[in-house]
Amino acid sequence: MIDGAPDFRVSAPPSVTVRTVAAFRSDLRDACGSHSSILLDIGGVTEADLSFVQVVYAARYQMDSVGGSLKLAGPATAGAPIATLLRRAGFTTNPADIDFWFHGELPQ
């Protein structure tokens, strides 16, 4: 929480790919503009590509630049589409990425 305000929850849709990312990007951008602390639920994502990662990184940057926070409701789990994507794209070597995406512990 920031300034005593509860986290605003945003749920990612099941499919976040280059073809479907626009609505997710808009929802997340609106939340970043209106709330100081956002909790992003990625548990229902069944399909994702790098456009998903780009939108989340942009939102993290936006929130950091205004003193806000963006956190995941739960870590990317082994075998889940997000974890698989992050592993393939090389996001499993940076400690900051591991903390954000996996809550500090890489799934095996």
Whether pLDDT at 106 is above 90: no
Bridge partners (DSSP) listed for residue 69? 37
Other Cβ atoms less than 10 A from the Cβ of 40: the count is 21
Question: Is residue 1, in this structure, part of any structural domain at all?
Answer: no
Instruction: Give the pLDDT confidence of 2-29 residue by residue, as tens digits.
Output: 445 679 999 999 999 999 999 999 999 9
Sheet hosting strand 69-72, strand order edge to edge:
8-11, 37-41, 69-72
Q: How many CB atoms lie within 10 A of CB 55?
A: 20
The pLDDT value given to residue 2? 42
pLDDT score for 4: 54
Give the pLDDT of residue 78: 86
Residue 56 lies in a domain: yes
Strand partners, 39: 9, 71
> What is the structure's pLDDT at 43?
94
Q: Is 3 part of any domain?
A: no
> What CATH number does residue 69 fall under?
3.30.750.24
In a domain, 96, yes or no: yes
Summarize the chain as % helix, strand, coil (round to 5).
Answer: 45, 20, 40
Q: How many structural domains does the chain have?
A: 1
Q: Print the domain residue range for 89.
A: 8-102
Give domain status of residue 65, yes or no. Answer: yes
Task: Write b or e for each residue in 64-78: b if 16 or more Cβ atoms lie within 10 A of its Cβ, otherwise e.
Answer: eeeebebebeebbee
2 lies in some domain: no
Say if 12 falls within a structural domain. yes
Contacts with 73 (C-beta within 8 Å, 6 or more apart), sequence order: 9, 39, 40, 41, 42, 43
pLDDT tens digits, 42-86: 999 999 999 999 999 999 999 999 999 999 999 999 889 999 999
108 is a domain residue: no
At 1 the pLDDT is 38
